[in-house]
């Protein structure tokens, strides 16, 4: 009887119902649908050989002629080749300049180190402008060459500062140990600094690659020769309905346009999952250190 009375006297705990996780999940589900539905439509249309428009879950008439056109038609292959060349070479050059510049700026005994860093930071706020930049590129003879679209984005003070902040987080004892072992500054750079900077190299390299692959403004400003255009310039011309390539087989203009869009976004859709862990670490570059 006493146990029964105690149990009856004990108040029951109220079950708390948290609404936030449910609302949060629904919001993210809605955002995923907003992102994935247009991509799915473009993907389906890139395989659909019919001329119909509208939302389709599956292709009515499946075929690969759209992708065959993109990968074989010279008017599309040349811009795609230019995009690959500028992206690979520009990313390598951008990483080279950013890492070397950042390594120089962490040399505490270098005279004028603070002055050089300040001057570069000023360029992030104040720039020469579009017309002076064009005049400089023209006087250097770089207009209407791929060099102009490779060199200009490679000089990125923002990425250089991020890399410098990452290098400053490397323990000074490692630099001292390398010096005691007889390493020169450049040997310390590629034997100690670079192997410890995989996260920074991956994240900054990814930013360089995305900017080169999606570059449109520099091509529009500095290049007038159609054979030097990149894939983004050709893709915009196709979407505007001008200079459409001759389709292969039964492919329609709509099929070729959507196939070109998939080819444009596919490389980084493949790269992102493999570089995600490095990118997550890299976005914390420059964060407050404890």
Mean pLDDT in residue range 244-257: 73
Tell me the pLDDT band of 246, cut-offs 50, 70 and 90. low
Span 171-199, pLDDT tens digits: 888 888 888 888 888 888 888 888 888 88
Residue in the structure block whose two tokens are 């292959």: 77
Nearest to 263 by CA among 32, 47, 111, 108: 47
Instruction: In whole angstroms, give the CA distance from residue 74 to residue 71.
Output: 8
Residues facing residue 218 across a β-bridge: none
Please report which confidence band the pLDDT of residue 249 belongs to, taking 50, 70 and 90 as the band edges: low
Instruction: Inform me whether the pLDDT recorded for 7 exceeds 60.
Output: no
The pLDDT score that the predictor gives to residue 283 is: 55
Cβ–Cβ under 8 Å, residues 170 and 196:
yes
Rounded to the nearest integer, the mean pLDDT of the chain is 81
Give the model's pLDDT for residue 290.
45
Average pLDDT over residues 193-215: 87
Q: Tell me: the pLDDT tens digits for 83-98?
A: 999 999 999 999 999 8
- pLDDT given for residue 4 in this prediction: 54
Q: What CA–CA distance (Å, rounded) separates 290 from 276?
A: 24
For 51-89, the pLDDT digits (tens) are 667 777 787 888 788 888 888 888 888 899 999 999 999
Contacts (Cβ under 8 Å, ≥6 apart) of 128: 136
Q: Which two tokens stand for residue 44?
A: 């389906």
If you average pLDDT over residues 213-225, what whole number do you get?
Answer: 90
């Amino acid at each position: 009887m006493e146990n029964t009375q105690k149990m009856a006297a004990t108040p029951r705990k109220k079950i708390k119902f948290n609404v936030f996780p449910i609302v949060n999940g629904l919001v993210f589900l809605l955002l995923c649908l907003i992102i994935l539905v247009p991509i799915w439509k473009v993907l389906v249309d890139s395989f659909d050989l019919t001329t119909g428009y509208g939302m389709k879950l599956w292709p009515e008439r499946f075929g690969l002629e759209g992708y065959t056109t993109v990968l074989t038609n010279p008017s599309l292959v040349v811009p795609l080749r230019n995009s690959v060349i500028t992206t690979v070479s520009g990313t390598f050059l951008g990483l080279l300049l950013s890492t070397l510049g950042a390594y120089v700026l962490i040399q505490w005994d270098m005279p004028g180190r603070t002055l050089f860093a300040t001057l570069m930071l000023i360029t992030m706020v104040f720039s020469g402008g579009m017309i002076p930049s064009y005049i400089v590129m023209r006087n250097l003879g770089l207009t209407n060459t791929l060099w102009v679209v490779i060199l200009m984005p490679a000089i990125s003070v923002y990425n250089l500062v991020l890399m410098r902040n990452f290098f400053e987080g490397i323990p000074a004892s490692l630099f001292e140990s390398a010096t005691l072992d007889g390493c020169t500054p450049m040997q310390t750079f590629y034997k100690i600094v670079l192997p410890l900077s995989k996260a920074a190299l991956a994240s900054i390299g990814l930013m360089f690659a995305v900017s080169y692959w999606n570059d449109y403004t520099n091509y529009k400003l500095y290049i007038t020769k159609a054979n030097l255009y990149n894939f983004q310039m050709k893709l915009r011309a196709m979407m505007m309905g001008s200079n459409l390539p001759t389709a292969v087989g039964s492919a329609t203009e709509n099929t070729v346009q959507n196939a070109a869009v998939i080819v444009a976004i596919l490389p980084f859709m493949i790269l992102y999952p493999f570089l995600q862990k490095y990118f997550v670490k890299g976005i914390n570059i420059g964060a407050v250190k404890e």
